Amino acid sequence: MTETQLTLISHPLCPFVQRAAIVLLEKGVPFDRINVDLAAKPGWFLEISPTGKVPVLRVRQHDGTEAIIFESMAICEYLEESQGGTPMYPLDALARARHRGWVEFGTATLADAWQFLNATDRPSADAKQAAFRHRLQQLEAALGSGPYFNGAALGMVDAVCAPIFRYFDILDPAVSRSIFENLPRVSAWRNALALRRSVIDAVGSDYAERFRNHLRDHAALLAN
């Protein structure tokens, strides 16, 4: 394995950054982390991020050359292929393909959750809450005995979905209760992920307050 120095270019609230951070932490890979202000993106960041988004992984190799990887799943796949530690995908090709499908599903689930969380009017909030809950019902049908998506081992689907569940640990419990009601497998999965060290350490200690401030700044209904 080629020795590398990894730097994760980040934002404190970005759920896509959290995916990469969870994979790095699960694999026990040392890395540096630099947060950028996405409201005032520095020039050096725009030079290395074609999309102007985080995460970006800066890879300095043993010969001194540097490579840039952007897009969260491209970063996670690189880490899976280049680093040691516990595999984040099943070894069986069919199971691995199935998990990659659920990774994509997780991204769509995040979009519904984010629009619900940031809704500023009741009709939009209700519609997005219903869409998010429907996706949770689909996950409920796909889950096994747990505690994680693929059973005893935490994997890539968990890394993708853990940041979604984190939001609902911060909100008023009454909001979360109505969304996760009668979803015992999803609820158990959510609880197991919340206790996982890599999930906890993927964000800063001030994450909850930053997220509440975000909701207030955007006049979201859930900020009240």
- pLDDT above 80: residue 198: yes
Is it the case that residue 2 has pLDDT exceeding 80? Answer: no
Quickly name the fold that domain 4-82 has. Answer: Glutaredoxin (3.40.30)
Between 4 and 161, name the one with better pLDDT.
Answer: 161
Three-state secondary structure of the chain: CCCEEEEEEECCCCHHHHHHHHHHHHCCCCCEEEECCCCCCCHHHHHHCCCCCCCEEEEEECCCCEEEEECHHHHHHHHHHHCCCCCCCCCCHHHHHHHHHHHHHHHHHHHHHHHHHCCCCHHHHHHHHHHHHHHHHHHHHHCCCCCECCECCCCHHHHHHHHHHHHHHHCCHHHHHHHHCCCHHHHHHHHHHHHCHHHHHCCCCCHHHHHHHHHHHCCCHHHC
pTM for the whole structure: 0.96
CA-based end-to-end distance of the chain: 51
Q: Whose CA is closest to 66, among 58, 74, 57, 54?
A: 58
CATH 1.20.1050.10 fits 93-223, yes or no: yes
* pLDDT average, residue stretch 9-33: 97
Q: Output the pLDDT for position 224.
A: 80
Degrees (nearest 5) of the Cα angle 61, 155, 198?
70
| Rounded Cα gap, residues 184 and 205, in angstroms | 28
122-165 pLDDT tens trace: 999 999 999 999 999 999 999 999 999 999 999 999 999 999 99
Domain with CATH 3.40.30.10 in the chain: 4-82
User: Is residue 112's pLDDT more than 50?
Assistant: yes
CA 119, 16, 121: angle at the middle one, nearest 5? 0
Would you state the pLDDT for residue 3?
54
Cite the residue boundaries of each domain of the chain with CATH code 1.20.1050.10: 93-223
In angstroms, how far is CA 166 from the centroid of its own chain? 9
pLDDT in tens, 52-111: 999 999 999 888 899 999 999 999 999 999 999 989 999 999 999 999 999 999 999 999
What one-letter code names the amino acid at 96? R
Tokens representing residue 130 in the block:
């219903």
CA dist 42 and 46 (Å) reads 7
